[in-house]
Amino acid sequence: MNSTKDILPIHSDDKSQIPFSHLKHLFLDVLFNPKYTIGADQFLKSSNNSVSLSASITDSSTITLHYEDYEGHHAVFSEEGIKRLRCIAATLSSRNELADCAQMYTKHRKSVVNLVCVRLREKLKVETLCVFTFSDELKEKTQRWIQVAKICVGTIFAIEKCFYEQIFGDLGSSEDSAANSFVYIIEGTAAELLEFPHSLLARGRLPQRPDILLPLCHELANLISHLMAYFDQDVCPAKAICNFATMIMLRLIQQIANILSVTEKHVLRELSTRPFPGGGIHPLTKYIIHHIDLIYVHRESLTELGSNDNRDPPEIPGSHEMDGGLVFLKRHLTRVIEFLLQNLKFKSNFYGQESLHCLFMMNNVNSVSEKIKSFKELEELIGTHLQMKLREKVELAKTDYFHRSWGEVCTFLKGEGLKSYFNCDFFPGRSTRAVKKKFKTFNSMFEDILQTQEGWIVPDLQLRMKLLECILAKLIPAYNHFLERLSRVYKVKRVSEYIKYSVKDLETKVLDMFQNKY
């Protein structure tokens, strides 16, 4: 850094001879003079600064808004301005006269931070207090608050911290007000930000919406960790903000613990009996898959629940080496999935046909199994025991479906067929009628299956192809065997005339099954 003589527009070799009033005037001139400010983007792109502008907001008109949109309200110091302020501050500190200028700086920058945050909230219609009528309205407001909080804490506060450390860093003692002034710059805005979750949690009854409160908990945990870093000084405002934030977090964690418990009960007690069309994915299964998604995305913040859960957990395979938070999540997910399996079995009983009952179970259990397989961390959290159980249920349902739908057809095709002349007397007319009857019986059985299952679905492409391949692997060899035996009936001419479906026709018809969408 340059010497005082080079930076200060005063021709004096003795810094102690510069009057305090003059230094104060110079400090204020740099503080308020626009020529010592630059654009926020220039500041952030400079090699000496690493603040990230990753937070952005999309408003209701789908316009993406970035922090840069507010830089006109956020006076950002140039490198020259910072050097001048630092030089003046160092001079005043050496003379134990820093407090007044630090106070002026704090007051000015506090108003700047308040202004930019107010403009940000106004632009995005984010209220200080959370007032809502409908759950969807709350979800939108919560998402907007999260983004505003990200920009304020992750960018605006970070820029101010950077300025403060470059200007006042290492100046003054730890007891000096100048050393703690940064807390006073941001404490008002931080307290206002926390009023939103505080007012939300102060309501008598919150919506049982994990999709709203889990993201809020996740982001609030991140924000609080940053706030704790900003407010690490041992001064009253810092302690008050940290205590307030901690209290809000604990109340939010308790709300989420209650919601997770309610979710478990809801899965077990949702007793609707109306069959879902085509044996597809039931709304309850979709709800649980979405719930598992939320748990996975916010698993880090949810591990904090483990230390606040005093229930005596049942023994869960694979949980011995996990920490408390992960055991809590594993126990919750295991309960939810086990309760879902019980409920699906209950609901499957209301399907009139046993084969559709099996298809319903296969589809729904497979959808949960595939969701778990989609994330390695989720597989590790759930554990192999439950995953194997899900896969076994899918395979059992697939096997049961085949036996109930196609078992009789394959048994018919593998039957004795027509007796050849080696085993009985031959009567031409009787053999011809028998051939026709055999084909008519098979055609009727095959067409009845196609017609009955015309509206059935297997939405998962991979599962559908495995099921169809399983059907063809049993049906086609049995059909070829059937045709071969009929062709050996002695003196029955032109057997091909009685064949309605060739092997290729059967394959085409089967491969077209289960492609409906609901």
Tell me, what's the pLDDT at 134?
Answer: 72
CA dihedral 340, 345, 347, 349 (to 10 degrees): 180
Token duo for residue 78: 């140039």
Q: What is the mean pLDDT of each run of 10 residues along the chain (518 residues)?
A: 47 59 85 66 48 38 42 68 87 84 89 86 79 76 86 85 87 60 88 88 74 80 81 76 86 83 90 89 94 86 61 45 69 94 94 94 97 91 93 97 95 65 42 79 94 94 96 94 73 67 94 84
Q: What angle do CA 162, 163, 167 make, to 5 degrees?
A: 120
Task: Report how far residue 142's alpha carbon sits from residue 283's, in angstroms, rounded to the nearest whole number.
Answer: 25
Give me the count of residues in the chain.
Answer: 518
pLDDT at res. 285 = 96
pLDDT at residue 159, rounded to an integer:
84
- CATH 1.20.1280.170 domain range(s) in the chain: 400-512
CATH of the structural domain 400-512, one choice from 2.60.40.420, 3.30.1280.10, 3.40.50.1000, 1.20.1280.170: 1.20.1280.170
- Comma-separated ranges of CATH 1.20.1310 domains in the chain: 20-125+134-204+217-224
The first and second tokens of residue 114, run together, are: 């308040």
Contacts of 217 (CB under 8 A, 6+ apart): 249, 252, 253, 256, 298, 301, 302
Q: Which two tokens stand for residue 334?
A: 């295991």
Rounded Cα–Cα distance for residues 256 and 349 (Å): 33
Instruction: Round to whole Å and give the CA distance between 71 and 237.
Output: 27
Q: Which CATH class is domain 20-125+134-204+217-224?
A: mainly alpha
Q: Which long-range contacts (CB under 8 A, 24 or more apart) does 444-447 make?
A: 445/408, 445/409, 445/412, 446/409, 446/501, 446/506, 446/509
pLDDT at position 401: 97
